Amino acid sequence: MPADVLAELTPVMRSVVERMARAGRPPLHSLSPVEARAAYAAGAGVLDISRPALQRAEDFLMAGKGDRLIPARLYAPSFERLPILVYFHGGGFTVGSIDTHDTLCRELARRSGCAVVSIDYRLAPEHRFPAAVEDAWDALVWLWAHADLRLGLDAGRLAVGGDSAGGTLAAVTAILARDAGIGLALQLLIYPGCGARQDTPSHRRYAQGPVLSETLIDWFFSLYLPDADRRDDWRFAPLLADDVEGVAPAWIGLAESDPVRDAAIAYGDKLRAAGVPVDLEIYRGVAHEFFKMGRAVPEALRGHADAAAAMRRALRPEATAAATRAHGTPGLQLGTWRQLRQLATPVRTEVFVREQGVPAPLEMDAADAFSLHAVICGEKGEPVATGRLLPAENDHVLGGAVAKIGRMAVLASHRGQGLGWQMLDALVEAARRRGDARIELHAQCRAGDFYLRRGFLPQGEIFEEAGIPHIAMALELRPAAQRAAG
C-alpha cells in the first residue's frame, strides 16, 4: 500500500490496517468462495462492539417467487408496532450473512428505536446476478404486504439500507419501490457500490486498499457477474439508472479512504439533481468496512449514531419531536452510562485523548457507571458534546449533599455555539431537582471563565491533573441558612 495512503488514515485506523497485514491471513480472493465465506465469518466480529441485547431477535422465513424461501432475522428493541428498516448485508455478493452483520443490525435497532429485518439473500457464484436483487426485492414486497399481521410491525413505515454490496441492493430496491408504488421513508446507504467500472480517482488511489482492493473487487465481480458487458445494467450499478426522480430520501455514509467513494458521491449528486433529499457524510481517515470496527475505531460509533439518527428522523419523527420537547434543547439526552456510552465515548476520546493527550485508561473510570450523563447531538444526530453528574455525597460540614460535575467536552467543530452552557445547565438543573446543596468540579484553568459565567467560584490553588492545570470550583445551589435548616 502506498505510504501516502497509509499516512492519510487516522492513527487508530492505520494501526488496524497494520495489524491486519501482520496477521498474515490469506486474502479472500486467494480462497474458494466457500473458504472465503468461512474466513470472513471468522473475522467478522473481531473489531465489532459488544453485541447489544434486544427484546426481540427472531429468525423467520419469507416466501419469494416460486417455491423459494428467503431467510431473515428480525431485531427490535420492544414488542411495539415499530417501523422497519430492511437491511442487506455487505460482502461483494459473495461472502457475508445475517450472522456476520448481527451486531451492526442490533445496534441500529437499539439506537434508532426501529425494527431492523436483515435479509439472507442468495450469494454468488452459486447464484449469480440478478439473484441477490430478486431476493432483496421479494423480501421488501413480502414485508410491505405481511409485516403488520405476521410480525406485528408497521409496514406503512418502511426503509431500506445496507453496507457495501448491501448498499447497492438498497439503492436498487429503492428505485424498484418507486416504480411499484411502495412508499419508502429512507434509503440508508453505507459505502455502497454504485458504479459499473473501476475507473474513478478513488478506485485508482485505493487500488491496493486499505481493506478493499481492486483485486478483491475484481474477484467479487467475476463471481457475481462474470459477463463484463452486462455490468451496465442499473440493477448492478444504480449510478446508471435512467431516472431516480421520486425515490426515497437518502442517507449516505462513506469512508474517505475507500475505492467506492467517488461513485457513491456521484450517485448522491445524481439523486440531488433529481430533487431527492440527500444527507451525505464522509468519515475522514477510515477505510471500507469501518462500520464493523467499533471496538477500535471511534468513527464507527459516530457512524452508528448518524445512521440511527437518520432512521429516527425518517421513521420516527414523533419520537424526535418528543425528545426535543422533553429536554428543551434539540438533541439533548440525559441518561445512564449504559444508555449513553456509545454516544459519549467518541466525544470524550476525541477531546480528552486525542486533542489533550490524556491517557485513555485515565479518561474512562469506574465513576461513569454510577453517574448521570448528558449528551448533545447535532442536527444530523451525531454526538457533539457530553458531560456527567456524579452521585451526591453528604457533607456534614456544609450541611447538605454535594455533587460533582465532570468530563465536560465539546467537539472543536461545534464550539462557540453555546452547547457547553446548555449541557452544564441541564446537569445543574438535574442536581437541583434531586436536592443537592452544592456542585463541585475540577475545571481546566483555560475553561475557568466558562464556569465563572454560570456562577461557579474558584476554591483553593491551581493543581495539575493528568498533566493539565486545573482549579477547583463550586456552585452553591441553596443558601447557607437553608442548608443549615435542612
Residues assigned a catalytic role = 164, 258, 288
- Element of type H or E holding 401: strand 400-410
- Cβ distance 219 to 279 under 8 Å? no
In the chain, the largest separation of any two C-alpha atoms, in whole Å, equals 86
231-266: buried (b, 16+ CB within 10 Å) or exposed (e) per residue?
bebbbbbbbbbeebeebbbbbbbbbbbbbbbbbbbe
CA distance 20 to 49: 18
CA distance 247 to 7: 38
Nearest to 464 by CA among 447, 449, 442, 448: 442
Nearest to 291 by CA among 189, 377, 214: 189
Identify the bridge partners of residue 279 per DSSP, sorted by sequence position: 251
End-to-end CA distance of the chain: 68
CA distance 39 to 151: 33
Cα-to-chain-centroid distance, residue 35: 30
CA distance 272 to 370: 46
Identify the bridge partners of residue 388 per DSSP, sorted by sequence position: 373, 406
- Grid cell of 286 as nine digits: 477510515
Identify the bridge partners of residue 62 per DSSP, sorted by sequence position: 70
Single-letter amino acid code for the residue at 311: M
CA distance 286 to 282: 9
- Cβ distance 363 to 386 under 8 Å? no
Cα-to-chain-centroid distance, residue 412: 20
